[in-house]
Amino acid sequence: MELTSFFLPDLLLFITPLWIAVLVGVLVGWVWRPTWARDDKLFTLFNNNNNNNLKLPATTEPSQVYKEKSGFVTNDDFRHLWNLVEVKDGGPTWIQMMDRNTPTFSYQAWRRDPQDGPPQYRSRTVFEDATPEMVRDFFWDDDFRSKWDDMLLFSSVVESCKETGTMVVQWVRKFPFFCSDREYIIGRRIWDAGRVFYCVTKGVQYPSVPRQSKPRRVDLYYSSWCIRAVESKRGNGEMTSCEVLLFHHEDMGIPWEIAKLGVRQGMWGAVKKIEPGLRAYQSAKAEGTAGLSQSASLAQINTKVSVEEFMNERDSTGEVGGDEKASSGKNIPKILVVGGAIALACTLDKGLLTKAVIFGVARRFARMGKRM
């Protein structure tokens, strides 16, 4: 349920004209920049970002990538996910985006915008007639994923631990023709709190898989979920439904403000394709036609954890959640961003919608500048 990347085709088809417009806008703003703006630091800032977005850059700090190190996925990651599930992470308020239902599943989604960093998404999906174990294996099974997720071009388990079930996987995901494909090096691990599964997947550093110019590697990636049984909406009191709480954010190299527009447009169309994949997986398992892949077998090796003991440990240490923080790029003159947007809106497109979007993005950057 990689929220942003899963509906990327719809997202990028929607934002293609805006993407091109922003590229041209940056170039126009740069050519028309005043003399005081022509310094090496500013040039380096835009050059390092390939002149392809207007987001305020953030450095990669340990709090952003959750201590990516040789352990890959640690108990600190479980604590972070638990805080997200219990809404005790200290982050911004979640804003609801969607609430949809079908006879066999329901879906709700929220978004929040950290002060720095890409938008974060939270969703709650409830599948009728599904066990937590089945849903856990479904999302972990990369071999079967290729049958329902047409964006997954390649997947491979590059390292695994048979004691904890921790693994490092390599993904290559398909992007539309005007963007290069994306590569992900992902650490995974599952904690079992009495059939409540805390599943962590996040981007990790793995030098043994060299970075290539193409596909472009996504470093900032977090997609984790809590899977547990809930009561069926049939109202019979039986715990035959499965709830999935997903927390996702990543930086794919797409301007964050523009990406949010595409998310709002393409979210439901993408999400409703997941359930047919789950039902096909259930049928294949019942018929015995779905073998146990390496990734699915590792999904069944979990770290047992007592939430009660964890709560006592948390209280005794006084642990509290906090926002993810990253140093922000404060050196972009907002007049350059706003000026480029004005020039772009007035000269390249006469459509009111596009102008409104461009000016909206510019206003947001101006407000961010005032807070700094």
Tens of pLDDT, residues 204-262: 999 999 999 889 999 999 999 999 999 998 888 899 999 999 999 999 888 888 778 77
Tokens of 230: 């809930």
If residue 80 lies in a helix (H) or strand (E), which one and from where to where?
helix 75-85
pLDDT confidence bin for 288, thresholds 50/70/90: confident
What percentage of the chain carries pLDDT values higher than 70? 63
pLDDT at 174: 87
Q: What is the average per-residue pLDDT within 105-133?
A: 95
If residue 211 lies in a helix (H) or strand (E), which one and from where to where?
none
Residue 336 in this model has a pLDDT that exceeds 60: no
**In sequence order, which residues have a C-beta less than 8 Å from that of residue 35 and are 6 or more positions away?**
none
Note every long-range contact of 146-155, with CB atoms under 8 Å and residues 24 or more positions apart, other chains counting: 147/277, 147/280, 148/273, 148/274, 148/276, 148/277, 148/280, 148/281, 149/6, 149/277, 150/174, 151/5, 151/6, 151/8, 151/9, 153/181, 155/295
Global pTM value:
0.68
pLDDT confidence bin for 22, thresholds 50/70/90: low
- Under 8 Å between Cβ of 104 and 336: no
**What one-letter code names the amino acid at 62?**
P
72/206 Cα distance (integer angstroms): 9
Lowest mean pLDDT among 139-143, 279-283, 351-355: 351-355
Tens of pLDDT, residues 147-162: 998 889 999 999 999 9
E strands along the chain, which residues?
95-101, 105-112, 120-127, 152-160, 167-173, 182-192, 197-203, 216-217, 221-230, 241-250, 303-304
Short-list 171, 131, 168, 176, CA closest to 9: 176
**In sequence order, which residues have a C-beta less than 8 Å from that of residue 38 and are 6 or more positions away?**
none
297/165 Cα distance (integer angstroms): 9
What percentage of the chain carries pLDDT values higher than 90? 48
pLDDT confidence bin for 271, thresholds 50/70/90: confident
pLDDT confidence bin for 33, thresholds 50/70/90: low
**Parallel, antiparallel or unpaired: strands 303-304 and 182-192:** parallel
pLDDT at 8: 53
